Every structure is written in structure tokens, then in C-alpha cells.
Structure 1
Amino acid sequence: MPLTAFAEAEGEKGSKTRTWFNLKERPVFAWAGLWRESPEWGAVYSGVMTDCNEAIRPVHDRMPVLLHEDEYDQWLGGSFDEVVSFQDRCFPDDLIEMTRTIDPWNKPRMSTSAPALL
């Protein structure tokens, strides 16, 4: 899945903020993803996760399986064992950049007692 950054929630429950991660000097990069057609939902997808590296560890214990450009073909056309092995390798810490924000992770929800629009 192509992306420019991914976010994680950071902080105390009820006041978590959005922390962004991107790859240094790579405006677009890839997160290993899976997709299939579902009779109920149509096309569905999920990003593959793995244990975090040290760049992510201050915020979360898991991270997306990020792909280097030279790994795209192996991810898309590799054997089952090759694809599963991506979860066992650690993406290099020094390629990841973290940006902490004060942006709330969750937006406040509207009151359920608010009048509904017709």
C-alpha cells in the first residue's frame, strides 16, 4: 500500500495525540498489505504488522511491515514463505523520522442527545 506517513496514538488515555512516522528522503513508500474480495463487503484490505523497531518503540510496540523498493516484486510475487518472512525482519531505525504533534488522536464525538438532521 503506498503511503507518505503513518500515525500512532501517543499519551495518556483521554488525551492521546497523533504522532507521525515517515521515511527520511522518501516522500512515498510502501506498507505490505493484503487484499481479497469479500462476498459481504467487496474489496477488503489490511496492512501487515510486526514488532516495532527502536525508532517506533517510544510510541508503540508494533509497526507496519515497511518495504524497501527492491522488495516490492518479492512481496507481490514471492512464495508464501518469502512473504511471511517479512514479518521477521526489522526495518532499519535510521530510515524512520518521527514527528510528534499536539493534534488529538480522536475527535470529540457528538452528543447522542443532539437533534438529528433530516
Structure 2
Amino acid sequence: MCGRIIDPNLRDTEVEFSRTKIHPITQRRYNVKPTDVIQVLAKEPLELMTARWWLIPSWFDGDDPKHWKATTFNARFEEAKDKPSFRQVWRHGRCLIPVGGFYEWTGPKGYRHPHVFSSAGNEENLYLAGLASRWRDLLTCTILTREANEDMRAIHDRMPVVLNANEREAWLGGSDDVTLGAGARLEHYPVRPFGMRDEGPELIEREG
């Protein structure tokens, strides 16, 4: 769940992040996959940082990121605080992960069809609940997921935890409220199938 995302557009965006020092993205990506470097917002006041999208806990004693074999690019919201991989950062590593949207697929294996999900509101970006862990000198992160709401359920039974402005503050402040993200308003439409290495704004053009 949530295995491909779209880079956010962080130029001249929401008022609550107006004090954040934003470094422009040189080339916006439309097919960002786990293990790629993405942007996260953390600390107080919020600071924009980059992190490898696939969390590695700080206690892991390997000497190469590839040696961490657990699938930790997503974490189930209702379970993460009790899982060894996420327990520490649940308390001390909360972050927001801004995205321009994300993809989900329908159909049987071999005939999977992508849909792109984006904000149905006034904000251009979605702000996802995330956890960040510094392993050695590398900042890594995961995207939290929850049970799908009515805007997502027809496509998939899970969805990212998409936070509104009030929920972002609550999440960063330490809330464990399992209803966070339940009211997210999303829109989606089908797009043409694309490959793992395909890139460009044409990936989000409506099919048909």
C-alpha cells in the first residue's frame, strides 16, 4: 500500500509552512518509489529535510542499507507504536511527508491498472503522517497507513494517513488518536499503465 508517490509542489504553498525554508526541487518526479530520497517536514519549527523512503531503525547494526530486509516503507498506524522497528520513532521521530499525490492499482496480477489520488480540497499537496529514523548518518522514513475511507475503499482497503491542518499539529504533538486521517477527502482517476522507470507529468494524465 502506497508504493508510489508524486513529488509535492512546495513553492508558495500553505500558510502554516510559510516560515519553513524551502529548497526548490530541481526536477519534479511523478514516479517516486521506496528507497528513493523524498522530502519530510519535522522538528519545531518545521524544517524541510530529505530522507530515504524505507525506514531503518537506529539500532540496526548492519553496514549497508540493503542489508535491512524488513519491509518498512509503510507502517500500519494501528500497530506501529508496538512494533520493534517503529516503537522508538513513534515517540521521538514523527514527521509529515508532503506529496503531490500517490498511486494505487486495481485488477489481477499481470493486468494491474493505476489510479492517481490527489487532494479533493483547496490544498495542492497531501500531508501524510510519517516516522523518521536516523540510521548512522542517513535519515530514513516510513509512511503510515490506515483502513481506507469512503474515498479510497473502492480501489484499496488501505490508504496513507492523510492529515488536515489540525491533525498535522496533533500528530506532531504526540497524538495516538486512531481516527486521524479518517476524514481525508481524495479524488482519483485512472491513468495509463507505466513502467518502474517511467517518469514525467504525462504519468498523471487522465486515461481516455
**Residues 1:30 and 2:120 are matched in the alignment:** no
Write the distance in 1 (CA, Å) between the matches of 2:138 and 2:163.
26
Aligned residue number for residue 145 of structure 2: 49
Normalised by the size of structure 2, how large is the TM-score?
0.44
- Considering fraction of residues, name the structure with more helix: 1
Whether the aligned pair in 1 keeps the contact of 2:167 and 2:181 (CA below 8 Å) is: no
What value does the CA root-mean-square deviation take over the aligned residues? 2.1
Q: Once the two structures are superposed, what CA deviation does each residue of 1:72-96 show, in whole Å capped at 9, x if it has no partner?
A: 2221122xxx2x31x3345336x21
Q: Does 2:103 align with 1:7?
A: yes
User: What is the TM-score normalised by the length of structure 1?
Assistant: 0.73
Structure 1 position 77 matched with structure 2 position 77: no
Relative distance call for 1:42 and 1:107 in structure 2 (3 A) is closer
Structure 1: stretches of 5+ with no match in the other structure: 109-118
Q: Name the count of aligned residue pairs.
A: 100
Deviations 1:36-86 (Å, cap 9, x if unpaired)?
A: 1113x72110001100012111111100011001222221122xxx2x31x
Matched with 1:113 is none
Q: Does 1:92 align with 2:183?
A: yes
List alignment gaps of at least 5 residues for structure 2: 1-96, 198-208
**Who wins on radius of gyration, i.e. which is larger?**
1
Structure with greater strand share of residues: 1
Structure 1 runs of 4+ with >2 Å offset:
87-93
What is the aligned-residue identity percentage? 26
